[in-house]
Amino acid sequence: MSVRVAVCDYGVGNLRSVERALVSAGAQPVITADPSLLSACDGVVLPGVGAFSAASERLRERGIAAAVRAVVESGRPLLGVCLGHQLLFEHSDEGTGGDGLGLVPGEVTRLRPSSGKVPHMGWNRIHILRRVPLLDGVDDAAYVYFVHSYDGHPRNHSDVVATTDHGGAVVAVVQRGNVYGTQFHPEKSGAAGLRVYANFVQLCTRASMGSAALPA
């Protein structure tokens, strides 16, 4: 039986492309805004495109934020994608600002125009700083697809897994325990991105079998 992976529906995600990628990876995706249904799954994907403050408000209002934190505390894997990646952090200065989930210590700030065109859009290579299960089989210098105007800055450098170059180093992948985030869109990143989802499904499978969460 395939593992169930919740895809959080909070009004700002490209849900169907994430759903297709998870099906291709062998999972049973559950697109939901119901915290109780989300909490019953073997892992969670937090996708997203749009504004940080509006997204964080919706997560809190709908009870999704609390459910996501409970999933993480239980040892099950969480993957934040693009805006979902940024929501893993504590705070963003986008617009009027806003508080994130606080699962990765650090801040989200606007890309500096002096460092490159904003928004950062298109295919870029990633530079893998350390190997984690999410990137098993993904080549260093693999091309992946980015669309963003803000980026996360982990307070602990050990949480940074991979970077990309956009007029300087930009964090592309983070991991803290069983919490993962990709600033790029794996579902739009060809074979490398599908491998990321396949690896995440494997993490969910391991969690469903009672494996302990990976250490930070």
List active site positions. 82, 185, 187
Phi, psi (degrees; rounded to nearest 5) at 7: -110, 110
In DSSP terms, 89 is beta-bridged to 104
Question: Quick one: tokens of 146?
Answer: 């980015």
Torsion angle, CA of 58/104/18/215, rounded to 10 degrees? -140
Can you tell me the distance from the alpha carbon of 79 to that of 120, in angstroms, rounded to the nearest whole number?
Answer: 21
Please choose, from the candidates 193, 153, 150, the residue with its C-alpha nearest in 3D space to the C-alpha of residue 49: 150
Please choose, from the candidates 49, 115, 138, the residue with its C-alpha nearest in 3D space to the C-alpha of residue 86: 49
Half-sphere exposure of 203 (CA within 13 A, CB side): 29
